[in-house]
Amino acid sequence: MQNFLIGLGIGVVLAIVLVIIMSTKRHREILASNKETARLKRMLTDRMDLESEGLTKLKDQNEDLKKQTENLRITVNSYSQKPGRKELARLQVYQLAVDRLTINSPGFGAAWQAALKESEIEFQKTYVGVQPFIKRLIPTKTEANVLPRTVDTEVE
């Protein structure tokens, strides 16, 4: 019976040693797991902070671009309202109409070219001699209403 008790004692001691070794291993694994969890939480927090900063910057840039777009729209609108812009647009419309008439009407082209040539010669004379001086002092009125100022014919 004594051998039995010695064998039982050795078995119990070995069991206790194995339990201690296993519990220390388990404790190390738990510590490593907790450390890894803390590291992952820090990484996630850092990433979320970076993404929120990036999103905030993108929102700010978007707002700035919206303001710039609105300012440009206002600038273009005011630029088109400056004196002479509507007249230039109207002249472009007249030029298109004249081009179409020249192509579609056989007699119109020759008469138009002659009138245009006379007008160009007269216009060149306004830069030389006494005639420009007189025209500056006494403005002349023409029979033609070249640029009507009615609301319904404005080009936008």
> Widest CA span of the chain, in angstroms?
148
Alpha carbon distance 17, 27 (integer Å): 15
Taking the model in full, what pTM does it have?
A: 0.38
Residue 136 near residue 127 (C-beta atoms within 8 A): no
pLDDT digits (tens, 9 = 90+) for 5-36: 999 999 999 999 999 999 999 999 999 999 99
| pLDDT tens sequence across 50-66 | 999 999 999 999 999 99
Question: Given its phi and psi angles, is residue 84 left (phi above 0), alpha (psi -120 to 50 degrees) or beta?
Answer: left
Contact (Cβ atoms closer than 8 angstroms) between residue 132 and residue 126? yes
Read off the pLDDT of each residue in 130-143 and give the average, rounded to a whole number.
Answer: 60
Cα 28–chain centre separation: 56
Segment holding 29, helix H or strand E? helix 2-80
Domain ranges of the chain: 83-139
